[in-house]
């Protein structure tokens, strides 16, 4: 049996091009700021996550 690490592809540095629903986007995991196309489509559930941190006494 082969060791999975032997068959793993070497990581490619820099931004990666990905295709979602027929559109091509660039994503760089090293960039701390998310691209607009991710920020604009982020999921929330009932107002979570909050934009501002709540005081602990409000939810304790």
Residue 27 lies in a domain: yes
Residue 3 lies in a domain: no
Shortest CA distance to 15 belongs to which of 28, 24, 25, 30? 28
Per the structure, the count of domains in the chain is: 1
Residue 22 lies in a domain: yes
Residues 6+ apart with CB under 8 A from 15: 26, 27, 28, 31
Q: Which two tokens stand for residue 16?
A: 């990666």
Residue 30 lies in a domain: yes
Whether the per-residue pLDDT at 17 is higher than 70: the answer is: yes
| pLDDT tens-digit map of 47-58 | 666 667 667 665
Residue 6 lies in a domain: no
Residue 31 lies in a domain: yes
Model pTM greater than 0.85? Answer: no
The angle at the Cα of 32, spanning 38 to 48, to the nearest 5 degrees, equals 50
Q: Which domain holds residue 45?
A: 13-55
Do residues 43 and 30 lie in contact, with contact meaning Cβ atoms separated by under 8 Å?
no
DSSP string, 36-53: HHHHTT---BTTBSPSSP
């Amino acid at each position: 049996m082969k060791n999975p690490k032997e068959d793993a592809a070497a990581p490619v540095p820099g931004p990666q091009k990905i295709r979602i629903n027929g559109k091509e986007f660039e994503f760089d995991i090293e960039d701390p700021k998310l691209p607009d196309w991710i920020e604009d489509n982020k999921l929330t559930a009932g107002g979570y996550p909050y934009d501002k941190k709540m005081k602990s006494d409000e939810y304790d």
